[in-house]
């Protein structure tokens, strides 16, 4: 492996890396930085946490000067990632006197207009950048560097047209760096249309089984939350991430964990930006904390020292599974990934296990106490709005949480036959029936139910 000095970085930049204790480059940094410093367009295929920000931040910092206008634009899919990338670039640029600004929605646009007038580097989400373009409050005519970070997630979130409009607003003579966990046909189309003979760099995403213990449990949907609470109490956990497939699930789990005295918060798209920032800041400062989140909300967050990752809902693919569990067992530390399955998860988890590189062990379910959950569905500001559920049959009912008749007949009777359930309720919105948002979660007269 090469040293940072061998990558062609300046003494000022090497000084910063020494100050922040970056000792050796990651694979994506080692391969991308020399190409980017040489002026090449690059497509980098790598997952969150691989060190992409330094890979594209270093060439930007090394090649632009302060006071020449906005010279670099970084597009990111979420507000949290935009803020995080901007903060990281500011750290890397501490000896280069550059102005780096973050630009995203959910906050007042007026301070951003002022900051963009003096910025050298802008990091923003597609929607708000496009808003500035339409208002003519951002000048992209001098852009030398365009970075598309987490490009696959931006397209998954429906930003294809926004991204292409922004790219078309930048000068044709520029350097473009694109980073994505997966390279889809849409991403290749963008590369063909807007990149200049890009060099592809692929960094394999994998799980280090020597450091990460991976297990799964099988329980009925009625017992899922109770088992989660039991495991959170029994495991020697510190910082914990609990992944759900929907923001409704994340909100429900976060609220009920707090009701049992656990320091937990849910991170999802319905929160105000101030609340999202508060949650992330609290997570970074805590020694023991539970962050309940969706893949979209967590994507791009560089969260260190996570001891445990829980899949409350099974991810849909092995790639999603690897991205989730890769949050722990980092930097040579050990970690544990726990997946809690009920009948609605079998279809998805079968797809995960098709990856031969994954070694996930089935564990016998321990004895645990069935606990009560609040079914009123209050939101994260402490208000009960009754958002969740269909016909009021409750979280674990046959028409409640699973989104339909689950049909896990063999599973519920014997607890042995993984995957025999018919899994008719495996839908995105799992609280209630098909029109779950029309009736409140607490539509039933009883707001609490044994789980």
Q: How far apart are CA 304 and CA 285, in angstroms?
A: 11
- Of the two residues 273 and 327, the one the predictor is more confident about is 327
| pLDDT score recorded for residue 187 | 94
Q: How far apart are CA 69 and CA 139, in angstroms?
A: 8
| pLDDT score recorded for residue 156 | 84
**What tens digit of pLDDT does each residue of 303-354 get?**
778 999 999 999 998 888 988 898 888 766 789 999 999 999 999 999 999 9
Do strands 361-362 and 372-374 pair parallel, antiparallel, or not at all (unpaired)?
unpaired
Q: Where are the alpha helices (H) located in 304-408, listed in sequence order?
A: 318-325, 346-353
| pLDDT score recorded for residue 384 | 34
| pLDDT score recorded for residue 449 | 42
| pLDDT score recorded for residue 365 | 96
| pLDDT score recorded for residue 304 | 76
| pLDDT score recorded for residue 274 | 81
- Is the distance from CB of 447 to CB of 440 less than 8 angstroms? no
**What tens digit of pLDDT does each residue of 223-266 get?**
999 999 999 999 988 899 999 999 999 999 999 999 999 999 99
In this prediction, residue 297 has a pLDDT band, given cuts at 50, 70 and 90, of confident
Mean pLDDT of 79-104: 94
**Number of other residues whose CB lies within 10 A of the CB of residue 317:** 14
Q: How far apart are CA 310 and CA 54, in angstroms?
A: 29
- Tell me the range of 78-87, 390-399, 432-441 where mean pLDDT is highest: 78-87
Instruction: Among 66-70, 200-204, 416-420, name the one with the lowest average pLDDT.
Output: 416-420
Q: How far apart are CA 79 and CA 72, in angstroms?
A: 18
Domains and CATH numbers, the chain: 5-202 (3.40.50.300), 212-450 (3.40.50.300)
Q: What percent of the chain has pLDDT over 70?
A: 80
In this prediction, residue 273 has a pLDDT band, given cuts at 50, 70 and 90, of confident
Q: How far apart are CA 118 and CA 67, in angstroms?
A: 8
Q: How far apart are CA 308 and CA 290, in angstroms?
A: 9
- Of the two residues 391 and 200, the one the predictor is more confident about is 200
Exposure class string for 95-105: b at 16+ Cβ within 10 A, else e: ebebbbbbbbb
Q: How far apart are CA 316 and CA 425, in angstroms?
A: 14
Residues contacting residue 346 through CB under 8 Å, at least 6 positions apart: 408, 411, 418, 419, 420, 421, 423
Q: How far apart are CA 129 and CA 101, in angstroms?
A: 12
Q: How far apart are CA 276 and CA 265, in angstroms?
A: 10
- Is the distance from CB of 160 to CB of 77 less than 8 angstroms? no
In this prediction, residue 205 has a pLDDT band, given cuts at 50, 70 and 90, of low
pLDDT at residue 127 greater than cutoff 90: yes
In this prediction, residue 302 has a pLDDT band, given cuts at 50, 70 and 90, of low
| pLDDT score recorded for residue 425 | 34
Is the pTM higher than 0.85?
no
pLDDT at residue 374 greater than cutoff 80: no
**Number of other residues whose CB lies within 10 A of the CB of residue 170:** 18
- Is the distance from CB of 81 to CB of 103 less than 8 angstroms? no
pLDDT at residue 77 greater than cutoff 70: yes
3-state secondary structure 104-165: CCCCCCHHHHHHHCCCCEEEECHHHHHHHHHHCCCCCCCCCEEEECCHHHHHHCCCHHHHHH
Mean pLDDT score of the chain, rounded to an integer? 82
**What tens digit of pLDDT does each residue of 136-193 get?**
999 999 999 999 999 988 998 899 999 999 999 999 999 999 999 888 899 999 999 9
**Number of other residues whose CB lies within 10 A of the CB of residue 26:** 18
**What tens digit of pLDDT does each residue of 87-97 get?**
999 999 999 99
| pLDDT score recorded for residue 59 | 97
Of the candidates 232, 179, 219, which has an alpha carbon nearest to the alpha carbon of residue 31? 179
| pLDDT score recorded for residue 332 | 67
| pLDDT score recorded for residue 331 | 64
In this prediction, residue 295 has a pLDDT band, given cuts at 50, 70 and 90, of confident
């Amino acid at each position: 492996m090469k040293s940072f000095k061998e990558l062609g970085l300046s003494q000022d930049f090497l000084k910063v890396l020494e100050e922040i204790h970056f000792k050796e480059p990651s694979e994506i940094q080692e391969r991308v930085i020399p190409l980017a410093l040489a002026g090449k367009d690059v497509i980098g295929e790598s997952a969150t946490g691989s060190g992409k920000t330094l890979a594209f931040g270093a060439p930007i910092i090394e090649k632009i000067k302060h006071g020449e206008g906005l010279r670099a634009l970084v597009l990111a899919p979420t507000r949290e990632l935009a803020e995080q990338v901007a903060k990281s670039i500011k750290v890397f640029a501490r000896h280069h006197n550059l102005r780096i600004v973050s630009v995203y929605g959910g906050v007042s646009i007026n301070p951003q207009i002022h900051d963009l007038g003096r910025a050298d580097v802008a990091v923003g989400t597609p929607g708000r950048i496009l808003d500035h373009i339409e208002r003519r409050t951002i000048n992209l005519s001098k852009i030398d560097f365009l970075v598309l970070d987490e490009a696959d997630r931006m397209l998954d979130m429906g930003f294809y047209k926004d991204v292409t409009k922004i790219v078309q607003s930048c000068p044709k003579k520029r350097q473009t760096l694109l980073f994505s966990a997966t390279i889809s046909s849409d991403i290749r189309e963008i590369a063909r249309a807007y990149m200049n003979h890009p060099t592809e760099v692929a960094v394999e995403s994998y799980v280090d089984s020597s450091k990460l213990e991976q297990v799964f449990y099988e329980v009925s949907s009625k017992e899922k939350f109770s088992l989660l609470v039991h495991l959170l109490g029994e495991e020697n956990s510190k910082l914990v991430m609990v992944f759900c497939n929907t923001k409704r699930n994340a909100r429900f789990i976060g609220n009920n964990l707090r009701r049992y005295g656990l320091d937990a918060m849910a991170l999802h798209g319905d929160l105000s930006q101030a609340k999202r920032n508060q949650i992330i800041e609290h997570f970074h400062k805590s020694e023991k904390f539970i962050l309940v989140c969706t893949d979209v909300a967590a994507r791009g967050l560089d969260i260190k020292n996570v001891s445990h990752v829980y899949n409350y809902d099974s991810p849909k693919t092995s790639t999603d599974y690897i991205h989730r569990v890769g949050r722990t067992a980092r930097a040579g530390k050990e970690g544990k990934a726990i997946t809690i399955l009920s009948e609605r998860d079998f279809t998805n988890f079968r797809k995960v296990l098709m990856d031969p590189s994954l070694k996930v062990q089935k564990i016998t379910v321990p004895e645990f106490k069935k606990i009560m959950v609040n079914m009123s569905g209050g939101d994260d500001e402490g208000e009960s709005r009754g958002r969740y559920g269909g016909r009021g049959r409750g979280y674990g009912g046959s028409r409640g949480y699973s989104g339909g008749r689950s049909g896990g007949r063999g599973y519920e009777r014997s607890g042995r036959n993984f995957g025999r359930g018919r899994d008719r309720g495996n839908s995105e919105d799992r609280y209630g029936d098909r029109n779950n948002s029309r009736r409140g979660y607490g539509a039933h007269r009883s707001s609490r139910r044994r789980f």
